């Protein structure tokens, strides 16, 4: 097949494969071309796609490989430090391989532009995909690790996800309401993260969402994404529409650039596809499809779809952009509310939540939403946030007593309350009881072991922290919270080289959690590895800036961002963020301790000691971190600082909010 013929086949295949229903695909294909040979080639590719199982993308495997090869790239060949294992699919402008990173000893997905489509536009698009996706760090976004060239062809290296495309699921049948809402919430969360980072996806569709074996949705392929900060006339999208027509917003079809609101439209199409098995707009030709999107009402949804969810979909698909949700964050909040209400009206609705052991437990969507909301408040971490988190998680486990993940989250939250805000050991007893309940339900639940590690951390039992944190990571290499608490315990015990050896892995697997950076940054400073500490601080700063974009009232993220700014010499920015963070909650002892850290770094010793004193007066009661943290080194010779480190008669005194 000649390159120009292959380009026609590929283009028509991509347009046709985006349509879920087989009958609709055949009608579209019949109206799109009168060339029987071309139609036959596309039908063969569609057949290969539907029959494929597993893999990183919808496999076109043997059928597509017969038509075009990529300069002899095959199993065993090296592309930079990556050893090719097998070709697993084609999409957009690239061929995707499963490969092995020989440096870090891990599987990866490698996307390489093929010589058929390689031109300046293709090269620019792949680079843009790498740049946009590398700015994102979220559990439901496919992580980009690397970018390079091979024999003049650009490639990007991404997280390997063992699973299958969401489109391969929807082509079989509609999803149960609970599963559709679960995936919808995860995708909306990823979209909110991208928008907060200033990135529009531009081609949101089920084919660009992978479902991993542990039932996590992963958003990928930012090939037509763009940065929101670019001027429209500089947009790589130009004035012609890019993306997949059946998911495309009316204004994009008219030639306008993609925006957050056009992503919201595409999400509405995607969610309706999950709920019904078909898209809201179809047409036998491109012009008929365009006319339907611009003028017709979307196809009705079955009566079984909850009313609140119907309203969310309808709001997403307003013909006028201003009639839609503003961005992914607003969308996520609306869908969360609707899903919790998809539970009050239908007691039998269930949502499947995967555990690390590979088993699944069915829980009500309302309980799942309470669990996720409690987790968000846990990571924010102020006294009020943690109090609300305890209430939400307690409601979740009351509603669903067998919800092991929620029991583990409740245990972690109790540990953090005790560590930072309340000496009453009842928190430790309550937390340990919740953790033991989680393990009774699932003996291999990594999150439960991480919770026990945090409870020991709250009681300054650091050897036990290390034991249980390593157990959690043995069970789940990216267990939330485990690397952060492990690094802190190693730092406080002076096991600096052991902690430093874990730093890269900790940030790589848990980089979305800003707490994970803090102990390893302190370790690197103590070891005088200043260049690496600076790189870590820069990554932390970007994560914190995203957190504030997502939630401007996150006082903890702001005070830690102030510290990151101070380490970069950005004095005015550091003081501004400190002032804002303290103003949110002037009496929060953990924020005051971190404000003291910022003032110390900036040489404002009197101000630092003043806020440290206020923190202790407001209940801050550990001294161990203050005694070791390098950020407080400017205060070491101050007599008043030394007096603050003396434990009170009860045996307790001040711990860093770090």
Q: Is the dihedral of CA 613, 614, 615, 620 positive or negative?
A: positive
DSSP 8-state secondary structure symbol assigned to residue 141: B
Contact assessment for residue 95 and residue 110, using Cβ atoms and an 8 Å cutoff = no
Q: Give the CA distances from residue 164 to residues 174, 208, 380, 472, in Å, rounded to whole numbers and listed in that order.
A: 16, 10, 33, 27
Residues 6+ apart with CB under 8 A from 581: 555, 556, 558, 559, 562, 591, 594, 595
CA distance 305 to 270: 15
| Residue keyed to tokens 């490969």 | 99
Contact assessment for residue 596 and residue 588, using Cβ atoms and an 8 Å cutoff = no
Contact assessment for residue 384 and residue 377, using Cβ atoms and an 8 Å cutoff = no
End-to-end C-alpha distance for the chain, whole angstroms: 60
Residue closest to 208 by CA, chosen among 324, 42, 92: 92
DSSP 8-state secondary structure symbol assigned to residue 93: T
Q: Of all helices (H) and strands (E), which one includes residue 109?
A: strand 106-113
Catalytic residues: 203
Q: What is the CA radius of gyration of the chain?
A: 26
**Cα 500 off chain centre by:** 25
Give the number of other Cβ atoms within 10 Å of residue 532's Cβ.
17
Q: Give the CA distances from residue 515 to residues 128, 417, 544, in Å, rounded to whole numbers and listed in that order.
A: 29, 16, 10
List, edge to edge, every strand of the sheet that includes 106-113. 78-79, 82-91, 94-101, 106-113, 153-159, 144-150
CA distance 21 to 46: 12
Contact assessment for residue 316 and residue 267, using Cβ atoms and an 8 Å cutoff = yes
Pairing assessment for the beta strands 144-150 and 209-212 based on DSSP bridges:
unpaired
Residue closest to 449 by CA, chosen among 418, 415, 425: 415
Q: Give the CA distances from residue 342 to residues 188, 297, 350, 375, 387, in Å, rounded to whole numbers and listed in that order.
A: 17, 24, 10, 21, 27
CA distance 90 to 70: 11
The 3-state DSSP class for residue 85 equals strand
């Amino acid at each position: 097949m000649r390159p120009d013929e292959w380009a026609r086949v590929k283009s028509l295949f991509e347009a046709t494969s985006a349509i879920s229903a087989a009958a609709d695909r055949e009608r579209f294909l019949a109206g799109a071309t009168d060339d029987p040979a071309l139609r036959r080639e596309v039908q063969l590719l569609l057949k290969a796609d539907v029959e494929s199982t597993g893999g990183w993308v919808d496999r076109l495997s043997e059928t597509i490989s017969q038509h075009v090869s990529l300069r002899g790239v095959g199993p065993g060949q090296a592309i930079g430090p990556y050893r090719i294992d097998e070709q697993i699919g084609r999409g957009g402008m690239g061929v995707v391989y499963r490969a092995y990173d020989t440096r870090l000893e891990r599987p990866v997905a490698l996307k390489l532009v093929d010589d058929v489509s390689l031109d300046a536009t293709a090269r620019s698009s792949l680079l843009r995909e790498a740049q946009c996706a590398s700015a994102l760090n979220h559990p439901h976004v496919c992580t980009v690790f690397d970018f390079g060239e091979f024999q003049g062809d650009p490639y990007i290296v991404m997280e390997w996800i063992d699973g299958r495309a969401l489109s391969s699921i929807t082509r079989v049948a509609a999803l149960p309401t609970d599963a559709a809402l679960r995936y919808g919430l995860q995708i909306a969360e990823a979209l909110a993260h991208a928008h907060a980072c200033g990135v529009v996806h531009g081609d949101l569709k089920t084919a660009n969402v992978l479902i991993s074996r542990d039932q996590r949705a992963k958003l990928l392929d930012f090939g037509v994404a763009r940065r929101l900060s670019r001027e429209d006339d500089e947009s790589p999208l130009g004035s012609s529409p890019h993306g997949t027509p059946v998911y495309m917003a009316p204004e994009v079809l008219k030639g306008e650039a993609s925006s957050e609101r056009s992503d919201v439209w595409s999400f509405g199409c995607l969610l309706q596809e999950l709920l019904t098995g078909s898209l809201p707009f179809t047409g036998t030709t491109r012009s008929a499809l365009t006319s339907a999107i611009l003028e017709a009402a979307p196809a009705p949804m079955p009566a079984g779809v909850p009313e609140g969810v119907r309203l969310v979909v309808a709001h997403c698909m307003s013909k006028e952009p201003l009639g839609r949700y503003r961005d992914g964050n607003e969308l996520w909040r609306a869908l969360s509310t609707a899903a919790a209400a998809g539970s009050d009206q239908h007691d039998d609705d269930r949502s499947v939540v995967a555990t690390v052991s590979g088993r699944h437990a069915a829980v009500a969507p309302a309980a799942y939403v309470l669990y996720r909301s409690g987790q968000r408040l846990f990571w924010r971490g102020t006294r009020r946030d943690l109090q609300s988190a305890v209430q939400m998680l307690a409601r979740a486990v009351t509603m669903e007593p067998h919800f092991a993940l929620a029991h583990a989250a409740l245990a972690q939250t109790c540990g953090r309350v005790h560590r930072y805000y309340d000496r009453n050991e009842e928190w430790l007893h309550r937390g340990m009881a919740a953790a033991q309940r989680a393990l009774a339900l699932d003996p291999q639940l990594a999150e439960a072991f991480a919770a026990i590690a945090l409870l020991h951390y709250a009681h300054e039992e650091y050897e036990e922290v290390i034991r249980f944190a390593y157990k959690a990571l043995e069970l789940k290499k990216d267990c939330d919270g485990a690397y952060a608490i492990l690094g802190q315990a190693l730092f406080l015990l002076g096991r600096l080289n052991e902690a430093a050896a874990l730093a890269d892995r900790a940030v790589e697997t848990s980089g979305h959690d800003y707490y994970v950076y803090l102990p390893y940054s302190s370790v690197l400073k103590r070891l005088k590895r200043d260049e690496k500490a600076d790189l870590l601080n820069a990554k932390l700063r970007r994560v914190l800036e995203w957190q504030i974009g997502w939630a401007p009232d996150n006082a903890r993220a702001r005070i830690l961002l102030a510290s990151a700014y101070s380490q970069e010499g950005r004095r005015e920015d550091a003081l501004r963020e400190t002032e804002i963070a303290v103003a949110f909650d002037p009496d929060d002892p953990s924020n005051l301790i971190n404000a003291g850290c910022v003032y110390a770094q900036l040489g404002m010793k009197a101000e630092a000691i003043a806020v440290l004193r206020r923190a202790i007066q407001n209940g801050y009661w550990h001294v161990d971190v203050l005694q070791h943290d390098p950020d407080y080194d400017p205060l070491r010779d101050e007599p008043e600082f030394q007096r603050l480190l003396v434990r009170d008669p009860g045996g307790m005194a001040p711990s860093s909010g770090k």
